Amino acid sequence: MSAPAAHFETPQNRREAAELGIWVFLATELMFFGPLFLAYAAARLSYPEGFAEASRHTDVVIGTANTAVLLTSSLFMALASRSAQLGRRRAASLLLFITALLGTAFLVLKAMEYFDEWQQHLVPWLDFRFEPGLAHPASLFYLLYFAMTGLHAIHLTIGIVLVLVFAWRLRSHSPASMRLQIENGGLYWHFVDAMWVFLYPLLYLVERA
CB contact set of 17 (below 8 Å; sequence gap of 6+): 8
| C-beta contacts of 76-83 below 8 A and 24+ residues apart | 76/102, 77/163, 77/186, 77/189, 77/190, 78/186, 78/190, 80/163, 80/182, 80/186, 81/182, 81/183, 81/186, 83/175
Residues whose CB falls within 8 Å of the CB of residue 171, separated by 6 or more in sequence, listed in order: 93
Which residue in 207, 179, 204 sits closest to 60, CA to CA? 204
Size of the site for other proteins (CB under 8 A): 79
For the CB of residue 144, give the shortest distance to other proteins in the complex, in Å: 7
Find the binding residues for other proteins in span 7-26 (CB under 8 A): 7-9, 13, 16-17, 19-21, 23-26
Which of positions 32-61 make contact with other proteins (CB under 8 A)?
A: 32-39, 41-43, 45-47, 49-50, 60
Nearer Cβ to other proteins, position 5 or 119?
Answer: 5
CB of 21 vs other proteins, minimal distance in Å: 5
Under rule CB under 8 A, which residues in 70-89 are in contact with other proteins? 71-72, 74-75, 77-79, 82, 85-86
Among 143, 157, 165, 177, binds other proteins (CB under 8 A): 143
**Binding residue (CB under 8 A) for other proteins from 29, 105, 114, 157:** 29
Q: Which stretch binds other proteins (CB under 8 A): 111-119, 159-167, 170-178, 188-196?
A: 188-196
Residues 51 and 57: their CA atoms lie apart, in Å, by 10
Cβ-proximal residues to 50 (8 Å cutoff; 6+ apart), any chain: 134, 136, 137, 138, 140, 141
Applying CB under 8 A, among 119, 125, 171, 172 the residue interacting with other proteins is 125
Q: Is 158 in the site for other proteins (CB under 8 A)?
A: no
Residue 145 to residue 5: CA distance in whole angstroms? 42
Site string for other proteins, 105-124 (x = CB under 8 A): -------------------x
Question: Are 203 and 57 a contacting pair, CB within 8 Å?
Answer: no
Q: Does 169 bind other proteins (CB under 8 A)?
A: no
Q: How far is the CB of 5 from other proteins (least distance, A)?
A: 7
Q: Which of 27, 154, 158, 161 binds other proteins (CB under 8 A)?
A: 27
